[in-house]
Amino acid sequence: MNRKRALISDTFNLKKRRKGSEKFGAGNDKDEPKDIKSTLEYLMTLFPRKLFNDTLPQVVLKHQLYSIHNDKTLVDKEVNKLRECGELLMFQLGFDSEAFGLVFTSDYKTKVLAGEEGKGTRTTVEKFLEKVLPSCTDLSFSKDKMLKVFLFTDSEITQLVKSGVLTVREAGSWWLSIPNSGKFTKYFIQGRKAVLGMVRKSKYGEVLQADLEERRTTSQVKFPLRYHVHDIVGAELVER
């Protein structure tokens, strides 16, 4: 809904933006930790492992980092550095071309291999994890690359897709993905919509962050509220 005429109060900034009330002691993560890695670790703790019966590695979205650190370009650079040295993996999550999921490589490996226990695809997946992940920081792979550079056969690629490590992007190219992440995406989008709704429905369309975090969430919201708050602030769906 686009108002044809902006409200006078908008011009004169009468509406005080009160969402950034963390300064008043409610949260302790606004203290500008310069280290991106520790922020990542903190955000990972917000991820609900029990919800997925521990089958998923902890996932954080790249824009959640923007809600904690002010300098987005710096965040991007640091994330790329971590990816270069192989500690972090980035995934295209699919529901938004700009939403990238970040997972620690060690976490990813353990979970994927645990999920592959007893399955026939196990060896192929292991081979993939050993060969491809350390050498290549891409988000997607084309058929050419898989066949020629990494020397996988067609049937092995099918096995990788079946196990969930690769998802089809288009004919002849695949995204790197997290197995069983469908549930994650579904709950995430649901929860995001619900939290946004909570903010929009409140009086004047604003909420104190401390207040919001204390509210009872509907059954739609399966993740801890803070996780969603970092997400919507970082993605600039709300203003702090």
Partner 1 sequence: MSAADTRAARVLSLTLDPDRDVDRIHGNGINTIDIEAVEGRYMLSGGADGVIVIYDLENYSGKLQYTCKAVCTVGRSSRHVHKFSVETVQWYPFDTGMFVSSSFDKTMKVWDTETLKPAEVFQFEGNVYSHHLSPIARKHSLVAVGTNNPKIQLCDLKSGSRIHVLQGHRAEVLSVRWSPRYEHILATASADSKVNVWDVRRASGSLFTLDQHNGEKSKASAEAVNTAHNGRVNGLCFTSDGLYLLTTGTDDRMRLWNSASGENTLVNYGKVCNESRKKLQFAVSRGCSPDFVFVPCGSSVAVYALHTGELVTMLRGHYNNVDCCEFHQDHQELYSGGKDSNILAWVPVLRTADVEDESNNDNKGAAGLSAVNPAFQDAWSSDED
> Half-sphere exposure (CA, 13 Å, Cβ side) for 36?
24
β-pair partners for 166: 176
* Closest CB 170 distance from partner 1, rounded Å: 5
Interface of this chain with partner 1, residues 132 to 171, rule: CB under 8 A: 138-142, 169-170
* Closest CB 123 distance from partner 1, rounded Å: 25
Beta carbon nearer to partner 1, 31 or 170: 170
Beta carbon nearer to partner 1, 13 or 53: 13
Site string for partner 1, 68-87 (x = CB under 8 A): --xxxxxxx-----------
CA distance 82 to 58: 16
Number of shown-chain residues binding partner 1 (CB under 8 A): 27
Other beta carbons within 10 angstroms of residue 103's beta carbon come to 23
Tell me if 208 sits within 8 A of 177, measured CB to CB. Answer: no
* Closest CB 37 distance from partner 1, rounded Å: 19
Residues 203-233: b if buried by 16+ CB within 10 A, e if exposed:
eeebbbbeebbeeebeeebbbbbbbbbbbbb
Q: Is 194 a residue that touches partner 1 (CB under 8 A)?
A: no
**Residue from 28, 97, 155, 219 that binds partner 1 (CB under 8 A)?**
97
CA distance 91 to 30: 26
Site string for partner 1, 13-42 (x = CB under 8 A): x-----------------------------
**Residue from 1, 5, 24, 118 that binds partner 1 (CB under 8 A)?**
5
Which amino acid is located at 48 in the chain?
A: P
Beta carbon nearer to partner 1, 85 or 117: 85
* Closest CB 206 distance from partner 1, rounded Å: 17
Please state, in angstroms and as integers, the Cα–Cα distance from residue 134 to each residue in 16, 32, 51, 195, following that order. 49, 31, 29, 37
CA distance 32 to 30: 5
* Closest CB 138 distance from partner 1, rounded Å: 4
Q: Is 173 a residue that touches partner 1 (CB under 8 A)?
A: yes
Please state, in angstroms and as integers, the Cα–Cα distance from residue 123 to each residue in 129, 142, 143, following that order. 10, 21, 20
* Closest CB 39 distance from partner 1, rounded Å: 16
At 170, give phi and psi (nearest 5°). -165, 175
| Interface ranges with partner 1 (CB under 8 A) | 5-6, 8, 10-13, 66, 70-76, 92, 97, 138-142, 169-170, 173, 235-236
